[in-house]
Amino acid sequence: MTKDISPELPVILVVDDTPDNLALVSGLLRDSYRVKVANSGANALRIANAEPGPDLILLDIMMPEMDGYEVCRRLKAAETTRDIPVIFLTARAEMEDERLGLEIGAVDYLLKPISPAIMLARVRNHLNLKRVADFLRDQNAFLDAEVQRRTESLRAIQNAAIVAMASLAATRDNETGNHIRRTQYYVRALALALRQQPRFGWITDDMVEALYRSAPLHDIGKIGVPDSVLLKPDRLTAEEFDIMKSHPAIGRDAIAAAAKDLPIGDRAFLQYAADIAYTHHEKWDGSGYPQGLKGDDIPLAGRLMALADVYDALISRRVYKAPYPHEKAVEMIVRGSGGHFDPLLVEVFLRINEDFKGIAARYAD
């Protein structure tokens, strides 16, 4: 009568090219484990990669075509099998043979003729060690996933807070509509295209993401501009424009104040936000405000936002003008190259201007 073996028992793969050895070893194991056998290295690899995979492999070394050393090397090189413990079971008794076996990844080395009690004890010990290793690996995978989940959750909360703050400022300027969202995507598209340039290969995915997240705060300083200026339904006087020009500094100071309460590692993204808020009205030729910075002295974040902001203003309706079509806006951006805008950014913009047009259509007011 065949004894029923629980499917919960560990699976042992026995690999040997000699039928008598396969029968002997599998017979010793069968009362306590589920046993699979392979009479060649190729069959061993096939079984090891099938489901359910073995929990432990007893492997002969001296086999034709593919010896046990090569089988072990291939097992340890594959992600799906590298964590399966391998015990060499062999007649090769030289110290150098044992050293090589352990060096290529085996957890133990047993000599034939086998001692049943020692073999069973070694198998039991290594299965126990594997259970602990699997548990720790699963725990680490769970913790990594949990950290990732919480990081994404925190980022979503931060993004929501940023958009909420930016929208608070935007509610005082009812002409801007979806301006915040559009400029976010313009800045991302520009940064991604810009890093294809040799000079800007240092722009990382994290930096692009930080710029994208920071962009909504570019006009946060408008919350400090009086309604009589911000909501005036006509062109501003020179004096009123001077008041309006205070909003970059107001925004920069508000963001800097918020950053003081954050850990140093979390301040980097707000530095981009501060640069954008403070310098997106600077011009490449030095004629902008509030500092009159020129060329590369203007932070890249500010230069990106300057082009994104002006493009969106050109295609949008304002109290003082009708919206320009995309083609006219592109033409005006090109005319501003070297004056208002970084010439290299204008070149990049020209290559991807259809992306801007698509963003504007997708998030139209």
pLDDT, tens digit, 9 for 90 and up, residues 33-47: 999 999 999 999 999
**What is the residue-averaged pLDDT of the chain?**
88
pLDDT for 235 beyond 60: yes
Same-domain check for residues 178 and 64: no
Q: Do residues 47 and 189 both lie within one domain? A: no
Using alpha carbons, list the distances in angstroms from residue 44 to 40, 47, 104, 128, 245.
Answer: 6, 5, 17, 23, 75
Domain around 245: 171-362
CATH number at residue 86: 3.40.50.2300
Reading the block at residue 279, the tokens are 């310098």
Query: Which of 211, 199, 209, 216 minimizes the C-alpha distance to 345?
Result: 199
Q: Is the pTM of this model over 0.75?
A: no
Which of 86, 119, 141 is the last residue before a domain boundary?
A: 141
Higher model confidence: residue 354 or residue 214? Answer: 354
Band the pLDDT of 2: cuts 50, 70, 90.
very low
Same domain, 204 and 79: no
Token look-up 């300057």 returns: 306
Say if 22 falls within a structural domain.
yes
Buried b (16+ CB within 10 A) or exposed e, 43-57: bbbebbeeeebbbbb
Is the same domain home to 247 and 187? yes
Query: Of the candidates 82, 17, 6, 79, which has an alpha carbon nearest to the alpha carbon of residue 44?
Result: 17
How many structural domains are present in the chain?
2
CATH number of domain containing 195: 1.10.3210.10
Q: Residues 185, 318: one domain?
A: yes
Any domain includes 165: no
Which tens digits make up the pLDDT trace of 236-259?
Answer: 899 999 999 999 999 898 888 877
Q: How confident is the model at residue 223 (pLDDT cuts 50, 70, 90)?
A: confident
213 plus 342 within the same structural domain = yes
Residue 147 lies in a domain: no
> CB within 8 A of 312, min separation 6: which ones?
179, 182, 183, 186, 360
pLDDT of residue 154: 60
What tokens appear for 233 in the block? Answer: 């339904």
Structure confidence at residue 3 (pLDDT): 44
Going by the DSSP 8-state scheme, the letter that residue 83 receives in this structure is T
CA 234 – CA 38 distance, rounded (Å): 87
* 1-5, 137-141, 238-242: least confidently modelled range: 1-5
| Same-domain status, 279 and 225 | yes
Whether residue 327 is found in the same domain as residue 204: yes
Let me know if residue 154 belongs to a domain: no
pLDDT value at position 7? 53
- Residue 100 and residue 208 in one domain: no
Q: Would you say residue 259 lies in a domain?
A: yes
Distance of alpha carbon 341 from alpha carbon 24, whole angstroms? 81
pLDDT per residue over 255-314, tens digit each? 888 777 766 666 667 888 899 999 999 999 999 999 999 999 999 999 999 999 999 999
For 320-333, what is the mean pLDDT?
A: 93
pLDDT value, residue 25: 95
pLDDT of res. 296? 96
Instruction: For residue 146, tell me if it sits in a domain.
Output: no
Is the domain of 209 the same as that of 86? no
Domain assignment present for 149 = no
Q: Are residues 103 and 225 in the same domain?
A: no
| Domain identity same for 339 and 195 | yes
Give the model's pLDDT for residue 4. 43
Per-residue pLDDT at 77 exceeds 90: yes
Is 164 contained in some domain? Answer: no
